[in-house]
Amino acid sequence: MPTFGSTGSILDCDDAFKDDWTPDDLPERKDELTEIHHTLEPASRGFTPNNMFVYGPAGQGKTVATQLKLQELSQFLENSEEQLSTYYVNCADLSSSYQVAGEVLKEISPDFDSRPRGHGLSNIFDWMFDRIEKIGGTVVIVLDEIDVIGNDDKVLYKLSRAKSNGEIENTRLSIVGISNNFDFYSDLTARVKDQLCEEEIRFAPYNANQLQNILERRAESGLQDGVLEGGVIQLCAAHAAKKDGSARQAINLLYKAAKIAHNGQDDTVTTDHVDQAQKKLNRDMLLEGLKDLTVQEYTTVLAVASLEARGDTPARTKTVYSEYKSICQTTGIDISTMRSIRDHLQALKLYRFLEGEKKTGGANGGERWLFELGVDLENMLAIEADDRFGEILDTIEMRKKANA
């Protein structure tokens, strides 16, 4: 049993690997920072900054870049007569314009300790604009992960057109929308696109070299000197680059590898530690994802897993459906229609549990989809599941060994 103070000497500052750690600079995002700077620059002269829409995959520095430039602008205006107020709203757990408007009101108003409930949306907008007008000067509201509201973009319309619609008179209001999903932009109504997206700033995925540079700086801040063996940074960067180029994933992988070495009282972090950390992260991500699946979705995944264990993937929808029905008959689960399973397959592809490829032509012409697992079969079989699926999982395990 370990005691406090008896662990290894790998980690120096754990906080350097946490999501809320803000670096002093983002040298890999000079172009994007410049674009954000030019968008906010009018505020430094007492004018209204344009609204902007910042988008790109998760873990690309969108939020940090926006925060850095807003901090820089705030510091510049400290000794001037211009007033700047910035408010940050994370919309990740919100799902409607009503909830986002309520969260904005909570952030900007001292009269609300929590998001208001039970009031009409028009009342919330009235209170929100009254408060914005009282704040005065330049007000920048950052709506992070705003894509969660889907097609319900009324709050974006009201905020982005507040001045032109006469909701506010003297305050200079600017809206920054940050999204991990550019498809969200295409679903916005034309009237919102014209106002919110006065400036569009795209954050492309980091490449492996950029991720290595980011990891080297984090390692310098968070690890003891000389504890990284050669190849560790490169391997962590390569894993992240193969997926979405997410700096967050790369940093988390390096931290997990360092924790394994630290807790094991090893002298250095090796590529073996990285491999162990990657396997654990894969299992954890898979477990969390599986928890969110419906019984029908999970059964559909098992059908593809069963076919994969036999070496019969990529498989057509019809083949998957046949295997799915067999599993349902064994487990006593109600059998859904092929159309429903077709929808589940597409959803599971979106969730990345499956990989799918559309084929055209062939003897009968038309389109057909081929599916295979998008996750490691071994990891999936290692995760404890509902008792109803025990026999099926054992069968898949035996098929896998027989075809090894």
Of 23-32, 215-224, 280-289, 394-403, the poorest mean pLDDT is in 280-289
Per-residue model confidence (pLDDT) at position 364? 62
Domain ranges for the chain, please list them: 28-200, 206-287, 292-401
What does DSSP say about strands 367-373 and 199-202: parallel, antiparallel, or unpaired?
unpaired
- The pLDDT tens digits for 161-207 are 888 889 999 999 999 999 987 777 777 777 777 776 678 899 999 99
Q: Taking residues 140-158, what's their average pLDDT?
A: 89
Banded model confidence at residue 363, pLDDT cuts 50, 70, 90: low
Which DSSP helix (H) or strand (E) runs through 1?
none
Query: With the CA atoms of 272, 275, 276 and 277 taken in that order, what torsion angle do they form, in degrees rounded to the nearest 10?
Result: 120
How far is residue 299's CA from residue 365's CA, in Å, rounded to a whole number? 30
User: Which pLDDT value is given to residue 6?
Assistant: 62
Rounded Cα distance between 180 and 148, Å, is 10
Place of tokens 């120096």: 12
Q: Which two tokens stand for residue 136?
A: 């005065």
Provide CATH code, domain 206-287: 1.10.8.60
Domain 292-401, architecture per CATH: Orthogonal Bundle (1.10)
pLDDT tens sequence across 307-334: 999 999 999 999 999 999 999 999 999 9
The pLDDT assigned to 387 comes to 84
Distance of alpha carbon 118 from alpha carbon 379, whole angstroms: 45
| Cβ atoms within 10 Å of 275's Cβ, excluding its own | 14
For residue 226, the model assigns a pLDDT of: 93
28-200 and 206-287 agree in CATH topology: no
98 marked as part of a ligand binding site: no
Domain 28-200, what architecture? 3-Layer(aba) Sandwich (3.40)
Comparing CA positions, the residue from 219, 235, 227 lying closest to residue 276 is 235
Question: What whole-number distance in Å separates Cα of residue 401 and Cα of residue 279?
Answer: 20
Cross-strand pairs, 52: 176, 199
Alpha carbon distances (Å) from 288 to 147, 260, 351, 383: 22, 21, 12, 10
Average pLDDT, the chain: 90
Query: In this model, does residue 1 exceed pLDDT 70?
Result: no
255 is in an annotated binding site: no
pLDDT tens sequence across 239-282: 999 878 899 999 999 999 999 999 988 999 999 999 999 988 88
- Alpha-carbon gap, residue 146 to 192, rounded angstroms: 13
Long-range contacts: 379-383, Cβ < 8 Å, 24+?
379/279, 379/282, 379/283, 379/286, 380/286, 380/290, 380/301, 380/305, 381/305, 382/283, 383/283, 383/286, 383/287, 383/290
DSSP-based three-state secondary structure for 18: coil
Contact 305, 373 (CB under 8 A): yes
